[in-house]
């Protein structure tokens, strides 16, 4: 059959027809009643049509390419499960990074889905609305593909089974959870600066690129597949973040100070969440692609530097906490892993002291700090452990009111001194880990006095199963908190050396290579 298709429309024409031309101005209701949230944050938008997605992605192409990504992803997942992929990783220690990912990141992907659905509905402009709709669909896809990919590990290893339950309860999971809850409870403009710009553009490369490249390096085809599949959407998300910020700044000069304050706040909030990523890169991967410090230099200092130099033409400055974050690159992962090692009984994954070989690597990557400040800590722990006294802290740490991380961070210019900041509000004292977190509180104390701080909640008796009586003799608060967390003591937690995961992995690996 001889069929001649008519000439295809160009990308620009197709974009116009499939986005702006499908929108209309409501007449039965006033525009401000249909979009009631666009004014209260003080952002002024005069012409929504000035926003254009530079990818010029339309819904029909979106479905086409997303379907292609899904087909590729699920083919890999099938091959991975059919081929005993869970035994192919370098070492079962690696799998603990995945437990951290599933409990800490996957639920916030779902929150990102809800957040973008919400703000997409609230924007009167068709361009950003369509881009937010796509991102909302991407984010739920990320949550789903992560759950599917990691479900294969859940069949064999401990600590994956209660990820959703734990996300709302376990102490350190309140760090990513409160970050996202903070963002979605902001207005539609704050949310997109928080997540679309500060998190996606400035910071997610640090989460996905080295971690997922690390997954591939450690033989984990499952995590590599969902990670790269998710990351292929991130390019679009980053672009949305950057285009929205330029659009807002071009719309009205009065928007600049509001946007700058959000950038200062959300850079610091996001950066603090990445503390978990820093220790994952430096301590949890048996084979490491690059150190946190190197990743920070490439993706934050070089790339972020380029971004802020570009935005300088609008009057945007580098975020307030930038300099401190750059100073902390030599310390962050060491401080964080020490905390998880010490509280290793209260997390549903395993921890361990770095081996002599690991420490050689750390010392080479951190020539100015590792040997000087941190090596002695690990040799001390290792000695204690060899003598049967594996150290577990049994006290509860003090938390920062904003980032909710224990007060572990040192003074930017004195790595031997823990940093403490405080503010008074209505005759109550609140504590912070840094100037960044303190200034976020001081701008909106009414919001942050409501924080659900896991340690405070334990002290108040809100983190025990309902069948226990804390007044009874022999009451063991730690055991009851673990039960409330649904952590099986001695199975899901504590040192990797003593774990059933380690034993099983060794047994199965032996079985896999012979009869």
Partner 1 sequence: MSNVFIAFQRNEETRAIIDAIVADNPQAVVSQQPAMVKIDAPGHMVIRKSTIEQELGREFDLQEMQVHLITLSGNIDETDDEFRLTWNQ
Q: In whole angstroms, what separates CA 454 from the centre of its chain?
A: 19
Identity of the residue, 90 or 507, whose beta carbon is nearer to partner 1 in the bound complex = 90
CB of 214 to partner 1, least distance (A): 7
Of 42-50, 204-212, 269-277, 386-394, the segment contacting partner 1 by CB under 8 A is 204-212
In 252-355, alpha helices (H): 255-273, 275-279, 292-295, 303-311, 322-328, 332-342
Region class of 84: left (phi > 0), else alpha (psi between -120 and 50), else beta: left
Q: Is 63 in the site for partner 1 (CB under 8 A)?
A: no
Phi, psi of 18 (to 5 degrees): -90, -5
Of 43-51, 64-72, 262-270, 428-436, the segment contacting partner 1 by CB under 8 A is 64-72
Phi, psi of 373 (to 5 degrees): -115, -25
The one among 97, 105, 170, 289 contacting partner 1 by CB under 8 A:
289
Of 132-140, 210-218, 268-276, 323-331, the segment contacting partner 1 by CB under 8 A is 210-218
Of 54-62, 127-135, 427-435, 458-466, the segment contacting partner 1 by CB under 8 A is 54-62
CB of 198 to partner 1, least distance (A): 15
Q: Is 213 in the site for partner 1 (CB under 8 A)?
A: yes
**Residue 248, both tokens:** 């807002």
The one among 189, 228, 374, 448 contacting partner 1 by CB under 8 A:
228
Q: Is 236 in the site for partner 1 (CB under 8 A)?
A: yes
Identity of the residue, 209 or 405, whose beta carbon is nearer to partner 1 in the bound complex = 209
**Residue 416, both tokens:** 């031997």
Q: How many residues bind partner 1 (CB under 8 A)?
A: 40
Of 298-306, 353-361, 446-454, 500-508, the segment contacting partner 1 by CB under 8 A is 298-306
CB of 142 to partner 1, least distance (A): 14
The one among 183, 242, 248, 258 contacting partner 1 by CB under 8 A:
242
Of 128-136, 212-220, 369-377, 415-423, the segment contacting partner 1 by CB under 8 A is 212-220
Q: Is 327 in the site for partner 1 (CB under 8 A)?
A: no
**Of 349, 93, 110, which Cα lies nearest the Cα of 230?**
110
State the binding string over 9-38 for partner 1 (x if CB under 8 A, else -).
Answer: -xxx--------------------------
Q: Do 149 and 94 meet the contact criterion of CB atoms below 8 Å apart?
A: no
The total of other beta-carbon atoms located within 10 Å of residue 302's CB is 11
Compute the half-sphere exposure of residue 105: CA atoms within 13 Å on the CB side of its CA. Answer: 28
- Helix axis angle for 106-122 and 95-104, nearest 10°, is 30
Q: Which of residues 68-97 bind partner 1 (CB under 8 A)?
A: 68-69, 72
CB of 148 to partner 1, least distance (A): 19
Q: Is 254 in the site for partner 1 (CB under 8 A)?
A: no
What residue has token string 């703000």?
Answer: 119
Q: Is 281 in the site for partner 1 (CB under 8 A)?
A: no
CA 92 to CA 110: how far, in whole Å? 27
DSSP 3-state helix, strand, coil percentages of the chain (rounded to 5)?
A: 65, 5, 35
The one among 43, 95, 97, 224 contacting partner 1 by CB under 8 A:
224
Identity of the residue, 58 or 401, whose beta carbon is nearer to partner 1 in the bound complex = 58
The one among 16, 38, 239, 401 contacting partner 1 by CB under 8 A:
239
The one among 307, 353, 400, 487 contacting partner 1 by CB under 8 A:
307
The span from the first CA to the last CA of the chain, in angstroms, equals 59
Q: Is 317 in the site for partner 1 (CB under 8 A)?
A: no
The total of other beta-carbon atoms located within 10 Å of residue 375's CB is 17
CB of 290 to partner 1, least distance (A): 8
Region class of 182: left (phi > 0), else alpha (psi between -120 and 50), else beta: alpha
The one among 313, 357, 417, 472 contacting partner 1 by CB under 8 A:
313
What residue has token string 């033989």?
Answer: 219
**Of 132, 137, 155, which Cα lies nearest the Cα of 69?**
137
- Does an H or E element contain 197, and which? none
Q: Do 179 and 112 meet the contact criterion of CB atoms below 8 Å apart?
A: no
- Sequence-distant (6+) residues with CB within 8 A of 427 are none
Region class of 159: left (phi > 0), else alpha (psi between -120 and 50), else beta: left
Q: Is 372 in the site for partner 1 (CB under 8 A)?
A: no
**Residue 316, both tokens:** 């945007």
CB of 62 to partner 1, least distance (A): 9
Residues forming the site for partner 1 (CB under 8 A): 10-12, 54-57, 61, 65, 68-69, 72, 205, 208-209, 212-214, 216-217, 224, 228, 231-232, 234-236, 238-239, 242, 289, 302-303, 305-307, 309-310, 312-313
């Amino acid at each position: 059959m001889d069929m001649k298709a008519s000439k295809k429309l160009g990308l620009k024409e197709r974009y116009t027809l499939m986005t702006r031309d499908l929108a209309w101005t409501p007449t039965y209701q006033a525009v401000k009643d249909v979009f009631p949230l666009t004014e209260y944050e003080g952002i002024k938008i005069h012409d929504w049509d000035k926003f254009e997605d530079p990818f010029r992605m339309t819904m029909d192409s979106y479905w086409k390419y997303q379907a292609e990504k899904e087909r590729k992803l699920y083919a890999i997942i099938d091959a991975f499960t059919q081929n005993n992929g869970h035994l192919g990783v370098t070492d079962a220690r690696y799998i603990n990074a995945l437990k951290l990912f599933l409990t800490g990141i996957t639920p916030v992907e779902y929150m990102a889905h809800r957040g973008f659905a919400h703000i997409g509905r609230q924007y009167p402009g068709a361009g950003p609305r369509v881009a937010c709709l796509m991102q909302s669909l991407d984010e739920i896809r990320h949550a789903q593909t992560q759950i599917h990919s990691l479900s294969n590990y859940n069949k064999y290893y401990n600590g994956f089974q209660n990820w959703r339950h734990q996300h709302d309860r376990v102490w350190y999971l309140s760090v990513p959870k409160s970050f996202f809850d903070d963002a979605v409870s902001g207005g539609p403009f704050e949310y997109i600066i928080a997540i679309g710009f500060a998190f996606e553009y400035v910071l997610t490369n640090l989460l996905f690129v080295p971690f997922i490249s690390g997954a591939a390096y450690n033989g984990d085809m499952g995590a590599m597949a969902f990670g790269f599949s998710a990351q292929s959407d991130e390019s679009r998300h980053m672009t949305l973040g950057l285009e929205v910020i330029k659009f807002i700044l071009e719309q009205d000069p009065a928007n600049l100070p509001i946007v700058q304050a959000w950038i200062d706040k959300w850079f610091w909030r996001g950066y603090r969440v990445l503390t978990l990523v820093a220790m994952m890169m430096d301590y949890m991967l048996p084979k490491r692609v690059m150190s946190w410090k190197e990743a920070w230099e490439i993706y934050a200092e070089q790339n972020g530097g380029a971004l802020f130099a570009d935005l300088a033409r609008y009057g945007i400055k580098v975020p307030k906490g930038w300099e401190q974050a750059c100073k902390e690159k030599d310390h962050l992962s060491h401080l964080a892993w020490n905390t998880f090692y010490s509280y290793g009984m209260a997390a549903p994954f395993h921890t361990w002291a770095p081996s002599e070989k690991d420490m050689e690597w750390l010392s080479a990557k951190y020539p100015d700090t590792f040997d000087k400040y941190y090596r002695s800590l690990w040799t001390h722990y290792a000695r204690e452990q060899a003598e049967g006294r594996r150290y577990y802290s049994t006290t509860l740490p003090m938390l920062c009111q904003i980032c909710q991380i224990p007060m572990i961070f040192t003074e930017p210019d004195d790595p031997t001194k823990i940093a403490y900041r405080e503010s008074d509000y209505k005759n109550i004292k609140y504590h912070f880990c840094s100037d960044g977190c303190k200034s976020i509180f001081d701008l909106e104390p009414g919001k942050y006095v409501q924080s659900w701080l896991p340690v405070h909640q334990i002290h108040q008796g809100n983190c025990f199963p309902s069948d226990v009586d804390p007044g009874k003799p022999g009451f063991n608060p730690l055991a009851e908190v673990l039960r409330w967390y649904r952590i099986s003591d001695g199975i899901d937690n504590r040192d990797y050396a003593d774990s059933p995961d380690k034993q099983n992995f060794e047994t199965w690996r032996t079985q896999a290579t012979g009869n």
